[in-house]
Structure 1
Amino acid sequence: MDLHPAMAGHLHAVTQDAHALRDVWATDGVLEFPYATADMTARIEGVDALVAYFDGARRWGDWTFTLVDEVQDEARRLIVAEIHAEAVWVETGRPYVQDYVIWMRLDEAGRIRSWREYWDKARV
């Protein structure tokens, strides 16, 4: 089972080339982190803000993403996926392991309209 192309494009962009977000996101798309604490970013609106947020120094490197499960509702252009991720903390070389649940909605052109990402904050 492979990641949906828009989801794979987003994950590639946020881990390697933030400017590539423009290839997979609607210009007015919204990304939300519902589990974000008060000191964390909880909502990012618009592709320009997304590029600015994810551009710059990386905290982790050598990412791998494994699709655990996925449900698609084509009529609603909705994909819900559970993803297992592994990376390395750049500063320490220690492993980073996280499991995500992502709700992704696409626009009519197949670009990401909304992305809601749930994760275990204790692992960050």
Structure 2
Amino acid sequence: MPANTSLADTSPADTSPADLYRHSLRLLLDKNIPAWVDLWAEDGILEFPFAPQGWPGRLEGKEAIAAYMRRYPDHIDLHDIPDLRIHQTTESDVIVVEMRAVGRLVETEGPFDMTYIAVVTVRDGLISSYRDYWNPLAVQEPGVDFTASGTR
């Protein structure tokens, strides 16, 4: 059964997929990208099924994910995750996440308000697969180019 969840009181010691995911969001809000990357398996895969042409659709390996996310805070100043629902699947290592993230686009000072659905697989306490179903049209504003920076 889906449950509303909070980011409060998460810690790296929590190893359930839901707890690990909540902890990962706390790290993104804290702009601690190195610690966020540390939550990934060495052979982790990050996929963007709706990525527009010229944007990465699949990143393979922790190193590629780290390079992609390195400058994330330079482009998106994430302020809050006001809506978060984590659904457990019949596979104990897979969760489906519905969430909304808000903040601002650093370059334009414009608002950032994105709704996501993600399918996340955790193996041995680390993220091994993350399919991020986000809407790239929501951030395609004139003068904003996330492709050159390595992040969306």
Displacement of 1:44 in angstroms is 0.7
In structure 2, the CA distance between the partners of 1:44 and 1:14, relative to structure 1 (3 Å rule), is farther
Q: Which residue of 2 aligns with 1:89?
A: 105
Count of residues in Structure 1 that have an aligned counterpart in Structure 2:
123
1:66 is aligned to 2:70: no
Displacement of 1:12 in angstroms is 4.5
**AA in 1 matched with 2:136:** K
In structure 1, what is the Cα distance between the partners aligned to 2:6 and 2:104?
A: 23
Gaps of 5+ in 1: none
**AA in 1 matched with 2:45:** V
SS at match of 2:74: coil
More helix by share: 1
Displacement of 1:14 in angstroms is 5.0
Instruction: Provide the alpha-carbon RMSD of the alignment.
Output: 2.0
In structure 2, what is the Cα distance between the partners aligned to 1:88 and 1:36?
A: 21
Deviates more, 1:86-95 or 1:55-64: 55-64
Deviations 1:94-122 (A, max 9, x none): 11111000000010x22101000011222
Displacement of 1:74 in angstroms is 6.3
| 1:1-124 paired onto structure 2 within 5 Å | 1-2=5-6, 4-13=18-27, 16-56=31-71, 58-73=74-89, 75-107=91-123, 109-124=124-139
Contact 1:59-1:91 within 8 A present in 2 as well:
yes
Contact 1:61-1:88 within 8 A present in 2 as well:
yes
In structure 2, what is the Cα distance between the partners aligned to 1:68 and 1:7?
A: 11
Contact 2:6-2:84 within 8 A present in 1 as well:
no
Displacement of 1:13 in angstroms is 4.6
Gaps of 5+ in 2: 8-17, 140-152
**AA in 2 matched with 1:87:** G
Displacement of 1:20 in angstroms is 1.3
TM-score by length of 2: 0.71
Deviations 1:14-54 (A, max 9, x none): 56132113431111110000000121111111111111111
**AA in 2 matched with 1:90:** V
More strand by share: 1
